[in-house]
Structure 1
Amino acid sequence: MDDRKFQVFISTSGPEMAPEYSILCQTLVTMGYFAWGLQQRCEDTEHFARRQIDECDYFVVLISQSYGDLSSSHLSYMQLEYIYAMARQKPVVAFIDMSDACLAIDAQYKRDERQPLPVFRHLIQHDLTCVFPYYGLDDLESKVRARMPEMDIYYPAQGWVRSANTRALHDEIQQLKHRIKQFERRQALQTGLVSQFTSVQLTDIFDLEYHVNAYKNESDRYQKIKCSKRIVWLDLVKILGQCFIQPQAEEQFEQCLNYYLTQMVWNEHYLFDAKITGISDIEVHVKSLYTIKIQMKQNEWIIPIGRDHRYKLIWQVTSETQALLKKEQEARQ
């Protein structure tokens, strides 16, 4: 086990959730996380909360029977923090109280969609992947212990290590790991072994999987469906290459692919089902996103070149890829 510690921002409705907040903090600290959050909020603390969210590795929202204090925008500070975390593309985990009283609140959503707490609980349960119900304080502690370690697997973060020279050492280690992988790949080819991610050619076809919310018969209800788009790797390099001509943060992979999928799916949504009247929230599947990053790095089309002030990876196209893109552009002209 490494010495990294991850920073977790906890968002709750306010002081009325002090017992749950205390259990969550204590559990995370014993697991090796840095946990913080704000229980007393006002307009003056909003900037401080956003700065903490910027610096955190994971965002945890804890929802029960209260919507919390309202801001000047008529949204609770808890929901504003959630919206900001999603905008900053932070991995979001939700622990949602499913006691009888809370189930009654969820039932209100079907009767009146104007009540803010039922709407927010419905939004969390349908828009997030990592949503975990709990039934009491003891169950909350066990759910946190069981689920939080999974976040480092599905949403790897840099974390924090106590060392003055961590950055330089980490970059050197990454370079050595890259050289080792190249050597192991050559050895595998010589011995006939096939690695988990075999090298691909620019002309190979890739099934780009994504999710889309589909609306039918002009209803407010939607169905989340999984789709795929067959695309050659050369086209993926063209799409992403334009985004990474200049050094960009790793989050740009997802943003660029989602923008491409949105433009493509918007014109082809009727192909899924003739009854579909609208679509929204097109998102690349995390497995496809991870595979694309691996192949871009493994084939040295787009590679990490360093880190920004937040210690996040910065990626850029290689000179060979730039030459390829220029050649393709000249060929089209």
Structure 2
Amino acid sequence: MDKKYQIFVSSTFRDLKSERLLIAKSILDLGHIPAAMEYFPAIDEEQLQYIKRVIDQCDYYILVLAGKYGSQDKRGVSYTELEYEYALSKNKFVLGFPYHDISKLPREATEDDPKTITKLKNFREKLMKARLVRPWEDDRDLDNKVTKALAVAFNEFPQNGWVRTPENSNEDLLSDLNNLRKENEKLRTEVKNLNSKTQPMIENLADLDDETSTKIDLLYGNGTPYRTFGLKCSWRYIFNLFSTSIKLAQNPQQVRQQFAINISEDNPQIMKEKESYMRVSISDIEYNKIIVQFIALGLVKETTNKSHALTDSGNSTYISSIAAIKK
């Protein structure tokens, strides 16, 4: 039977574009099917999960390494290395092609961060333990070695492969996968555009580090005003206290009251004059001014129960603002 193999081509992307094209062309010339990140770039965790499913369907896995380690996940591991580790975990037949001498590459084609250089070195050493590893010097040398290595692998280590039938066409499957990817990207763009339209367009909008002022009322137990304190501070200061209030309170009224308490407890001037029978409050005008500002900045959103919650951007801003920074 006319068996076709699907071959995954993995590498860093920007520095090896031409090399990847050559390999894809060689695979096609051999009558087989390349699968590469040009069609589904590994740039985040979600797309990595999609790529893993494609690797599952491949028969061979080609890894080309040069002077770049590539984009990294939150743990500091490159997506190229994550692909490689996954291919090994699935017992895919790996063919490795490390560049013969990284020191001979142009400066812009190599890493300059010592930590990243070490990660690339360790990754390269890991690859050298693969079953078929052949260093390369230039495009033509790489293309020649990939073609020969594939021929050896097809002959000595044949895999399941694909047999074209009306019910099972590998080319049709790849086309369907690619169409699904395009549809997913289209939907993502539409959602992003929709989200951007929901944000008010305001020129010269104050940002979190601009200074503002707010007022906190000190009341007797029966609600009679005792004194109003004017506070000058940054919008970031207010946002941090407001975000903490959202996370501590259970309903809109509690959020507002907790916010007033947070500000008063953080200001010695108010606490000095506050007696045990007194309480603190913030007026409708002051509170609404704060809410509107944070909605305009895209940090807060209204919820269905007429309350407010942090947006994804607001939650990230809050975490980065209060997290301890190593000195």
Alignment TM class, shorter chain as reference:
0.3 to 0.5
> TM-score when scaled to structure 2?
0.45
Q: Select the structure of larger CA radius of gyration.
A: 2
More strand by share: 1
